[in-house]
Amino acid sequence: MAQDTIKEELAQSLKGRDFLALADYSPEEVRYLIDLAIDLKKKQKAGETYHPLKGKTLGMIFEKSSTRTRVSFEVGMYQLGGHALFLSRNDLQIGRGETIWDTGQTMSRYLDGIMIRTFAHRTVIDLARAATIPVINGLTDRSHPCQALADYQTVLEHKGRLEGLKIAYIGDGNNMVHSLLMGAAKLGMHMSVATPEGYEPDEQIIQSTNETAAETGSKIHVCRDPKEAIEGADIVYTDVWASMGFEEEQKERELAFANYQVNDELIKYAKKDYLFMHCLPAHRGEEVSESVIDGNNSIIFDQAENRLHAQKAIMAAIM
């Protein structure tokens, strides 16, 4: 089958879909979105006008605050020819008890898509079931698929390939690692995760990731020892020890993660040409030393930029 025909079939398969988790997309669809993001980035850098969403509006529901998510989605919609509405919990009746069902049904009559950044993953699922327009998961306590898509776009741009590369994640088994795990499995990458006892990734997500990995040839490994996880890694990734909503556990987590800082000593076990990644915001001197996050191997701001392009690809594809 001709490559153009395959791309057209993939494009058709994405129209009108929700983007809630990478697990919902085939390996081919995930790679299509990454390639589309790179193409849209080239268009933007070249100053080309591309307005597939002209006259369309995205409603952005924020129950969790954000820098990168808000700015990248709002700018992305503008660059695609559309318009974005920022809606905090206090701007909507859900802050006063209206059901997510009624909210989703009503907003579907006004908008062409909804992005929501919230706490409970159940909220996103219920909103998608209620809405008759595409819903995008901008982050939940369970997953962060937009960030993971942008991350793997960034790796591809720097390494020229994804299959067979090893990514090591050091730290909390949170929403970020959940999406990275599934993304790695979908893209034929290997991933090792090191967490302290009691902070492991969700067991169901590990199981589903291993099932996907068995089909793509990925290898997934979860352990306690950061040195074991980072050995021979092409990419080293970390995140804050206390994500939003867990701030009251900060002191307790500082003790638990004391030996999990990504620093000059630990990074020696990775490949010399490793890439350092962090989804930001970072607590410099806590989960990562300043020498690493500001070092020559750090690509954290390329990641941040690619949130714009990856999310443009998602919106252009499904809206």
The crossing angle, in degrees rounded to 10, of helices 121-130 and 100-108 is 50
**Catalytic residue status for 44:** no
Q: What number is the average pLDDT over the span 32-45?
A: 98
How much is the pTM? 0.97
284 pLDDT more than 80: yes
- What H or E segment, with its residue span, contains residue 30? helix 27-45
Is 250 flagged in the annotation as binding?
Answer: no
Catalytic position from the list 112, 141, 234, 239: 239
Is 79 flagged in the annotation as binding?
Answer: no
Q: Structure tokens of 204?
A: 């169901």
Is 279 flagged in the annotation as binding?
Answer: yes
Is 146 flagged in the annotation as binding?
Answer: yes
**Catalytic residue status for 144:** yes
- What H or E segment, with its residue span, contains residue 59? strand 57-62
Catalytic position from the list 112, 307, 309, 311: 307
Catalytic position from the list 112, 153, 279, 309: 279
Write the pLDDT tens digit of every residue in 179-217: 999 999 999 999 999 999 999 999 999 999 999 999 999
* pLDDT given at position 126: 97
CA dist., res. 144 & res. 111, Å (int): 23
Q: What number is the average pLDDT over the span 46-72?
A: 97
* pLDDT given at position 1: 54
**Catalytic residue status for 153:** no
| Residues in the chain, total | 319
**Catalytic residue status for 112:** no
Is 109 flagged in the annotation as binding?
Answer: no
The order of strands in the sheet holding 113-117 is 83-88, 57-62, 113-117, 135-139
- Residues 6 or more apart whose CB falls under 8 angstroms from that of 188 comprise 27, 162, 163, 164, 216, 217, 218
Catalytic position from the list 44, 79, 147, 311: 147
314 pLDDT more than 60: yes
Is 239 flagged in the annotation as binding?
Answer: yes
Write the pLDDT tens digit of every residue in 135-156: 999 999 999 999 999 999 999 9
* pLDDT given at position 55: 98
DSSP code of residue 141: S
pLDDT class of 303 with cuts at 50, 70, 90: very high
**Catalytic residue status for 303:** no
In 49-174, where does DSSP find H-type helix? 68-79, 100-108, 121-130, 145-159
Write the pLDDT tens digit of every residue in 74-111: 999 999 999 999 999 888 888 788 999 999 999 999 99
Catalytic position from the list 117, 121, 178, 190: 117
**Catalytic residue status for 109:** no
> Residue 53: is it exposed, middle or buried by C-beta count within 10 angstroms (0-12/13-18/19+)?
buried
Q: What number is the average pLDDT over the span 244-255?
A: 86
% of residues, the chain, pLDDT over 70: 100
Is 147 flagged in the annotation as binding?
Answer: yes
Catalytic position from the list 144, 190, 278, 309: 144
The strand ranges marked E within 108-229 are: 113-117, 135-139, 166-170, 190-194, 220-223
